[in-house]
Chain A
């Protein structure tokens, strides 16, 4: 059964690498739901966090296909239970909707969202959480007029305690032979 799977890819940050990563998905007709690129805890090592909907068996194959790429150091896949993950969403709301006592402010409060910036004509709300939570907030703010909405890709931290650098040590022993 296809399920939501988060793939973490560790690599050096090189031009063209993102293309190599994404073609591994597109050639298997796997749709990428979200993709985030950032640094990792290891200096010089970049990390892609990619969310897809596939079976665990396909996830295995995909991870090995990614890992064999010359510039990719390591790849893992996780089910949602194996990670702690978040997305961040920003909502741009008309200033009039956010005046004192406005019910929109209650909505923001109830969702533990933050007012990020108050400008002359609009206010920006920030909400961090899982997709369902940021979507729910979207729905509840919608009646007040959302001028702009954006949600980041998923960022995720794995639950297992083995660290990336332990894997890299294992790899280095193998390749430095």
Chain B
């Protein structure tokens, strides 16, 4: 705990622990190392905003333009920095505007603490002005939530909230604070939370299971590693690399696992799933031992479960016991933290190289290159493609940038072709697939990693869902680069309409505004290109510019993302065209 001094009304400092609830809120945030919050004020949270004003030299408040933007910015911040994202909103509509981002953070395991104002305790349940049942609404989409109705509860609840949000499988926490608790006083004392009696953050992996897993791996002829975001959340990148290299096992990443290993690592065979690479999908049904690490067998990864790895013995390394056997039946469950468990497992496995097995992936790669990649990434005629834009970005960033995407075709193309040399470099809405995520998340990501180049790759549909957040760039001067891949369509949905609904383009064609004028109105440097010849220079100019930049690239209107596992099909039924 700390005894700090605060200025009293005479300007002199007196040691005092008697403070208001609203001041306690800000002090708790500082105790947890929060120096940045994203938010939007309103009646029920005004006392806290008043304290934020007083503490503005220690805590920076970023005024978003819509509370949804605050949540996605907090997510972007959390994902680029590895810290807990914090956001704050008023009661009623302020709180309900947070819902999409909370649900997104829940399914993508992003540590976030959301603070909402609430009507005074005596008015709860009276349909008071801007009263909503925030607990009732958020319980199903939070890791934990709590309503504070007395000032004295604040320190303990905040400590628990930050601990819960960050530990174990991370997730969002909501703290709803009634206005009387903000105005009330308490004897302030802060103690960080390190354990919650009813909650096991880090289960201990079983020794027997470790040995069983090692035996399986050592006897495998065609072992195959699937890894996901759990590696990044666990900061187990080095341990993963050591394990993969020693055992010589080909390793594929999920979209959320992107950047946990270098793209060009020889044992990194590429991306799993619906729009993943050909080999990684087909080999699912060829391997004899599958080792899943920090990934949850999402249906976008597995396709039809009846046709998924039925021949393989499955080892699943997971921190969340509820994920074991949820989708794919496991032979050996390693329930624990990836970093810790990999550290224990690697010494137990034999050095190996599995040359012939690797060769099979390479053969698939060659096929995919001929049928898909070449045309997508190096076309010589026609409209520009999304793939060539991403390839050009790689050329200039050398894989050092953080790529934040929105949701749609551009997202899939960016995930397929962006190259990574550093972890925490791919920030996308995976589980919820929230259009509108990209721009605010990129703003948050830049604030969470100010020294890194942050590029938002967005679609013409998605950006219009949160385009108001350009106002944050204007007001807070955040140097993000925005690449709008404009196909004048809700492209991903249009692709499905083309392939599965006989080209009936129901409500997917977009009549768009002049994005250049919008960028200009927000005083953001911008350019629009539609000629291939201008691409290289445009990207160079964007990256060299000292400030935010908005680059709009007109791309083919009816291009499709391939390969593709049609929904309901097995991973081996992946289509190259």
Give A contacts to B, CB under 8 Å. 11-12, 15-16, 19-20, 23, 27, 60-61, 64-65, 67-68, 70-73, 171-172, 174-177
Report whether B135 and A67 are in contact in the complex, using a CB–CB cutoff of 8 Å.
Answer: no
Docked-complex contact B140 and A27, CB < 8 angstroms: yes
Give A70 to B321 CA distance when docked, in angstroms.
13
Query: Quick one: closest B residue to A65, CB to CB?
Result: B322
Contacts of A23 in B (CB 8 A): 139-140
Distance (whole angstroms) from the CB of A71 to the closest CB of chain B: 5
Task: Give the nearest-CB partner of B201 in chain A.
Answer: A175
Instruction: Take A16-B145, A64-B321, A68-B322 as given contacts and tell me if A177 and B204 are in contact as well, using a CB distance cutoff of 8 Å.
Output: yes
Question: Is B320 engaged at the interface, CB distance under 8 Å to the other chain?
Answer: yes
**What is the distance, in angstroms, from B194's C-beta to the closest C-beta of chain A?**
9
Bound CA span A81–B430, Å:
43
CA distance A15 to B135 in the complex (A): 10
A76 to B325, CA, bound (A): 17
Chain B residue at minimum C-beta to C-beta distance from A171: B200
Whether A12 lies near B203 (C-beta < 8 A) is no
Nearest CB of chain A from residue B336's CB, rounded to whole Å: 10
Query: 12 A-B pairs, CB-CB below 8 angstroms?
Result: A16-B139, A19-B136, A60-B325, A64-B326, A68-B169, A68-B321, A70-B198, A72-B198, A174-B200, A174-B203, A174-B204, A175-B200
Contacts of A67 in B (CB 8 A): 321-322
Q: How far is the CA of A157 from the CA of B324 in the complex (A)?
A: 28
Asked whether, in the complex, the Cβ of B143 is within 8 Å of the Cβ of A61, the reply is: no
B195 within 8 Å of A by Cβ?
Answer: yes
Bound together, the chains give a CA A71 to CA B320 distance in angstroms of 15
Residues from 201 to 238 in B contacting A, C-beta threshold 8 Å: 201-204
B177 to chain A: closest CB distance in Å?
A: 15
Q: Which of A11, A15, A64, A70 contacts B144 (CB 8 A)?
A: A70
Does residue B393 face the partner (Cβ distance < 8 Å to A)? no
B322 close to A16 (CB less than 8 A): no
Report how far A72 CA is from B199 CA in the complex, Å. Answer: 7
Measured CB to CB, the closest approach of chain B to A123, in angstroms, equals 39
Is B122's beta carbon under 8 Å from chain A?
no
Q: Which of B139, B196, B201 contacts A20 (CB 8 A)?
A: B139
Taking the closest CB of chain A, its distance from the CB of B514, in whole angstroms, is 43
Chain B nearest Cβ from A116, distance in angstroms = 35
Whether A11 lies near B139 (C-beta < 8 A) is: no
* Bound complex: CA A162 to CA B201 (Å): 24
CB distance from A113 to the nearest CB of B (A): 40
Query: Which among A12, A15, A23, A70 has the highest number of chain B CB atoms within 10 Å?
Result: A70
B484 on the interface (CB 8 Å rule)? no
Q: Could you say which residues of chain B place their CB within 8 Å of the CB of A175?
A: 195-197, 199-201
User: Are B322 and A64 in touch, CB under 8 angstroms?
Assistant: yes
Q: Is the CB of B139 within 8 A of A19?
A: yes
| Chain B stretch 531-551: residues in CB contact (< 8 A) with chain A | none
Residues of B within 8 A of A72 (CB): 198
Distance, CA A14 to CA B140, complexed state (A): 16
B17 within 8 A of A: no
Given A60-B325, A71-B198, A73-B197: 14 more A-B contacts, CB < 8 Å: A11-B198, A12-B197, A12-B198, A61-B322, A61-B325, A61-B326, A64-B322, A64-B324, A67-B321, A71-B144, A174-B200, A175-B196, A176-B195, A177-B204
Decide if B74 is an interface residue (CB 8 Å cutoff): no
Q: How far is the CB of A42 from chain B (nearest CB, A)?
A: 12
Closest A residue to B326 using CB positions? A61
Question: How far is it, in angstroms, between the C-alpha of A134 and the C-alpha of B200 when the chains are bound?
Answer: 41
Choose among B140, B147, B320 the residue that contacts A15 (Cβ–Cβ < 8 A).
B147
Q: Does B555 contact A (CB under 8 A)?
A: no
How far does the alpha carbon of A23 sit from the alpha carbon of B147 in the complex, in Å? 18
User: Of residues 124 to 145 in B, which have CB atoms within 8 Å of A's CB atoms?
Assistant: 135-136, 139-140, 143-145
User: Residue B164 at the A interface, CB < 8 A?
Assistant: yes
In the docked arrangement, what's the CA distance between A64 and B333, Å?
A: 14
Contact of A70 among B147, B199, B203 (CB under 8 A): B199
Min Cβ gap B104→A in Å is 17
Neighbouring A residues of B143 by C-beta, 8 Å: 70
Contact B198 A16 (CB under 8 A): no
What is the bound-complex CA distance between A176 and B325, given in angstroms? 27
Residues of A within 8 A of B200 (CB): 171, 174-175
A140 to B136, CA, bound (A): 43
Q: A174 to chain B: which residues have CB within 8 Å?
A: 200, 202-204
List A contacts of B201 (CB < 8 A). 175
* Residue from the set A16, A72, A174 with the largest chain B CB neighbour count within 10 Å: A16
A73 and B326 contact, Cβ closer than 8 Å, known pairs A15-B147, A16-B139: no
- Distance of A176 Cα from B202 Cα, bound (Å): 10
- Point out the residues of chain B lying under 8 angstroms from A61, CB to CB: 322, 325-326
The 8 closest A-B pairs by CB, nearest first: A64-B322, A23-B140, A73-B198, A70-B144, A70-B199, A175-B200, A68-B322, A19-B139
Which residues of B are found within 8 Å of A27, using beta-carbon distances?
140
CA distance A64 to B321 in the complex (A): 7
In Å, the complex CA distance between A175 and B325 comes to: 23
A62 and B147 alpha carbons, distance in the complex (Å):
26
Contact across chains for A68 and B196 when beta carbons are under 8 A apart = no
Closest chain B CB from A60 CB (angstroms): 7
Contact B321 A16 (CB under 8 A): no
Q: How far is the CA of A19 from the CA of B169 in the complex (A)?
A: 21
* Closest chain B CB from A16 CB (angstroms): 5
Give Cα A61–Cα B329 distance, bound, in whole angstroms: 12
Nearest CB of chain B from residue A114's CB, rounded to whole Å:
39
Question: Which of A19, A68, A172 is B320 in contact with, Cβ under 8 Å?
Answer: A68
How many Å lie between the Cα of A70 and that of B135 in the bound state?
15
B140 touching A70 by the CB < 8 A rule?
no
A71 to B139, CA, bound (A): 12
Task: Return the chain B residue nearest A26 by Cβ.
Answer: B140
Can you name the residue of chain A whose Cβ is closest to the Cβ of B327?
Answer: A61
A31 to chain B, nearest CB (A): 17
Determine how close the nearest CB of chain A comes to the CB of B136; give it in whole angstroms.
Answer: 7
- Which chain A residues border B326 with CB–CB below 8 Å? 61, 64
Q: Name the residue of chain B whose CB is nearest to the CB of A68.
A: B322
Which residues of chain A have C-beta atoms less than 8 A from B204's C-beta?
174, 177
User: What A residues does B197 contact at CB under 8 A?
Assistant: 12, 73, 172, 175
Interface residue ranges of B400-427 to A (CB < 8 Å): none
Q: Closest CB of chain B to A63's CB: distance in Å?
A: 9
On chain B, the residues within 8 Å of A73 by CB distance are: 197-198
Q: Determine the distance from Cα of A2 to Cα of B322 in the docked complex, in whole angstroms.
A: 20
How many angstroms from the CA of A96 to the CA of B135 in the assembled complex? 50
Minimum C-beta distance from A27 to chain B (A): 6
Residue of B nearest to A15 (CB): B147
Measured between beta carbons, the chain B residues less than 8 angstroms from A177 are: 202, 204
